[in-house]
Amino acid sequence: MILVLLGAPGVGKGTQAQLISKEFSIPQISTGDILRKEVKEESELGKKAKTFMDSGGLVPDDVIVDMMEKRIKESDCANGFILDGFPRTIAQADALDKMLEKNNLKLDSAILVDVAQDKIVERLTGRRVCEKCGAVYHIKNNPPKKEGICDLCGGKLIQRDDDKEEIVLNRLKIYEELTQPLIAYYSEKNKLKKVDGVGAIEDIFKRVKAVL
Ligand code: AP5
């Protein structure tokens, strides 16, 4: 199964992708997570990406496409994968189509997780992530059992630099301009499945499974 998860920053793409990954035993490929790892390691790619990420802007398409072409060829992708945060522009979606075609693969669905903008800011400013394993929490909606500590691996929970309110607002603006057109793109290809992203995480996951 090959899936794309679409939706504005903070709608819960990563949260749902982790659940889908566990249920269907396919890897979650999060471009944001890959880029943050590169930034932490101060690699050439990380240095290039950092300036864009810090302001909430998008990393250039050619950098992302190159990175994803390599990633989907890795052995854990043999039975499918979930793309979380890619594609994010029409140029990236076209590149993904070509990549899949070249490797004799087919996209099953693009799942749009839909949440009104006013709820998103609260979700992002309250988000905490494990610096060790990447698990995602929310201080009110999805707190860890012990404050500041990951339930899964005991790692420290931190706030992402781009989850500060002014940067969140810029990310939302960029989403509207560059990523929202993908809704029509996948709808025209009859791949779009829309899921209401408001409610308990488990209920949203039931909705996701129902459309798959
Ligand atoms: P990325 O990491 O992909 O960020 P994003 O798309 O903005 O998405 P988020 O990770 O912020 O949110 P999410 O939808 O996954 O929500 P989550 O599940 O965490 O990208 C970061 C940056 O990298 C970009 O700004 C860009 O610079 C660069 N980048 C990445 N991909 C790129 C690309 N393809 N091209 C160019 N640049 C790229 O949930 C959010 C919070 O809400 C959590 O705290 C969670 O616990 C909580 N929550 C989840 N579900 C619910 C619920 N049902 N009810 C209440 N709270 C909930």
Torsion on CA atoms 210, 8, 75, 154, rounded to nearest 10: -90
pTM value is: 0.93
Name 131's Cβ contacts closer than 8 Å, sequence gap at least 6. 155, 156, 157, 158
Q: Which residue has the tokens 């400013």?
A: 125
Domain assignments of the chain as residue spans, ordered by start:
2-122+166-211
Inter-axis angle of helices 90-102 and 181-188, nearest 10: 40
What's the pLDDT at 195? 98
Q: pLDDT tens for residues 52-67?
A: 999 999 999 999 999 9
Residue 118 — pLDDT band, cuts 50, 70, 90?
A: confident
Q: pLDDT tens for residues 156-180?
A: 999 998 998 889 999 999 999 999 9
Q: Please tell me if the CB atom of residue 81 comes closer than 6 angstroms to any atom of ligand 1.
A: no
Q: Which of 28, 73, 4 is nearest to 212 (CA)?
A: 4
Identify the residue whose C-alpha is closest to ligand 1 atom 48. 12
Q: Which CATH number fits domain 2-122+166-211: 3.20.20.300, 3.40.50.1820, 3.40.309.10, 3.40.50.300?
A: 3.40.50.300
Q: Please tell me if the CB atom of residue 143 comes closer than 6 angstroms to any atom of ligand 1.
A: no
Q: pLDDT tens for residues 79-101?
A: 999 999 999 999 999 999 999 99
Question: What is the whole-number distance in angstroms between the Cα of residue 70 and the centre of ligand 1?
Answer: 22
What's the pLDDT at 32? 94
Question: What is the whole-number distance in angstroms between the Cα of residue 48 and the centre of ligand 1?
Answer: 20
